[in-house]
Amino acid sequence: MIFRQFVDDGLGCASYLIGDENEGVAAVVDPAYAVDQYLEEAERNGLRLVRVLETHTHADHVSGHGRLALEHGCTVSIHPAASPEYEFDSLADAMEIEVGAVVLRVLHTPGHRPEHCAFAVVEGGDVRRVLTGDSLFVGDAARPDLAVEAQEGAEGLFHSLRRLAELPEGVQVFPGHVAGSLCGAAMSSGTSTTIGFEKRFNPALRFSSAEDFVDAHATTSQLRPPNMERIVALNRGPFVGAPPALEPMVERDAATILDVRDPETFARGHARGALNVPIDGSSFSTKAGFLLDPGERVAIHAASAAEAELAARGLRAVAVLELAGYVVDPPAEEHIEPLAVDELQSLLERDEVEVLDVREKDERDDGYIPGTRHVPYRLLRAMGADVNGGKPIVTICSTGSRAAIAASVLGAAGVAARPVLDGGVSTWPGQTVEFRRCGG
């Protein structure tokens, strides 16, 4: 058997290729929109992709099931509770799907979504692996509030987790999400685990009653995936085919400029009105998805054609599909002056600047710099010039990445802002205030 895991670090998503080398066939579970990785792996191993299995209709990334169906004739399998608008092969609990000699047993595990299914990989008559999709994660469990009312989802998830926990302790667990995903809250850094390990250490498996589990999991303050409604509609609707090729831009387009170069290079010079989301930073796709409107036409500015292609892949993953093209080494029409952490401290003491803490609320709740104002970076574009309070603005986060994004957004709105790029709240030399949440 061929078994391969593919991880998208930008979204915290995992997908899988499972095949029978002797019979030369394979299936893909929860494919990303960028399907070349599966085709290349299949070709290396002499396999032909014949089937796509979807654990559920994804809300955080565009699936590649449509491309694999349209371009390679793959059958798409999903539980009918998903109400797909495309031709599909219906999954049902306890059904066994054969991929050559490899058997995938369907486990209907609702909670995250009503249609959700896990897939137990049967080898030699025994379950050796289980692909848990958005149910059981490494150190965590899926959120229950994206498809149904949170209490209903949590109750279903409780029973699904108990069912998975009944598998033999040695069964390897391969989840649909890893750390960095918005579909869980406290995932560990590993990309796989075992049933036994999770039974001992995963807090979500320690509840003995559905009532206690629902009380703990039905209330969430987690962010919803950017473009969620658009992504769900694309994944449920008619097949989405291959994107058009990304072409160099000859003339300036009216599109929104997304500059994906590193913050220091962007600060030294960039095109007028450009937004900066570094491709080499963490969670590029998620951050860009929060910043850009669904259907917005985007021009990519990058340091190289390869960097532009990587950015295009990340944008398409979160349903930013209207790409006007790319520019390499864009004109330096504007610049930003970063501010060092130690400089900021003295300016704050003299009350000469207004500091915007652009982290998320849960981060600020754990400690913040006195005298700073809290506005998450993802909200600044909607606020525009209204954020200006009359003093020079400085943006700060934990490490500098989101501060750079925030400063670029304000600059595009005509508000000069200086980002702290050499650190942030986590390296602040002064005192931070601890703010403890009410109720724990």
pLDDT 10s digits, 108-134: 999 999 999 999 999 888 999 999 999
Q: What is the CATH number of the domain that holds 364?
A: 3.40.250.10
What is the reported pLDDT for 24? 97
Instruction: From first to last of the 440 residues of the chain, give the pLDDT tens digit.
Output: 999 999 998 888 999 999 999 999 999 999 999 999 999 999 999 999 999 999 999 999 999 999 999 999 999 999 999 999 999 999 999 999 999 999 999 999 999 999 999 999 998 889 999 999 999 999 999 988 878 888 998 999 999 999 999 999 999 999 999 876 665 556 667 899 999 999 999 999 999 999 999 998 887 667 778 889 999 999 999 999 999 999 999 888 889 999 999 999 999 999 999 999 999 878 899 999 999 987 899 999 999 999 999 999 999 999 999 999 999 999 999 999 999 888 888 898 888 999 999 999 988 988 899 889 999 999 999 998 888 878 899 999 998 899 999 999 999 999 999 999 988 888 887 667 655 443 33
> What is the spatial distance between Cα 297 and Cα 292, in angstroms, rounded to a whole number?
9
Any domain includes 63? yes
Same domain, 293 and 412: no
pLDDT mean across residues, the chain: 92
Any domain includes 241? no
Same domain, 280 and 173: no
Same domain, 43 and 189: yes
Same domain, 355 and 227: no
Same domain, 225 and 252: no
The 8-class DSSP code of residue 55 comes to S
What is the reported pLDDT for 251? 85
What is the reported pLDDT for 175? 96
Same domain, 314 and 275: yes
End position of a domain, from candidates 270, 294, 328: 328
Give the rounded percent of residues in the chain with a pLDDT score beyond 70.
Answer: 95
Q: What angle in degrees, to the nearest 10, is found between the helix axes of 150-165 and 210-217? A: 130
Query: In which region does residue 142 sit, left (phi positive, over 0), alpha (psi from -120 to 50) or beta (all else)?
Result: beta
Any domain includes 43? yes
Any domain includes 237? no
Same domain, 81 and 190: yes
Same domain, 294 and 346: no
Any domain includes 105? yes
Any domain includes 437? no
Residue pair 27/7 in contact by the 8 Å Cβ criterion = no
How many domains does the chain divide into? 3
- Tokens 């869980």 correspond to 184
**Number of helices followed by number of strands (H, E) in the chain:** 13, 20
Domain carrying residue 63 = 2-231
Any domain includes 435? no
Residue pair 67/242 in contact by the 8 Å Cβ criterion = yes
Enclosing H/E stretch for 13: strand 13-20
Same domain, 120 and 255: no
**Angle formed at CA 190 by CA 172 and CA 426, multiple of 5 degrees:** 160
> Cα separations (Å) of 106 from 98, 115, 116, 271, 401?
11, 12, 10, 52, 41
End position of a domain, from candidates 328, 361, 380: 328
Same domain, 81 and 209: yes
End position of a domain, from candidates 305, 328, 351: 328
Residues near 348 by beta carbon (within 8 Å), at least 6 away in sequence:
355, 369, 371, 372, 430
Return the amino acid letter for 431.
Q
What is the reported pLDDT for 439? 34
> What is the spatial distance between Cα 2 and Cα 101, in angstroms, rounded to a whole number?
11
> What is the spatial distance between Cα 27 and Cα 39, in angstroms, rounded to a whole number?
11
Any domain includes 336? no
What is the reported pLDDT for 185? 59
What is the reported pLDDT for 53? 98
> What is the spatial distance between Cα 364 and Cα 425, in angstroms, rounded to a whole number?
9
Same domain, 38 and 99: yes
Same domain, 412 and 299: no
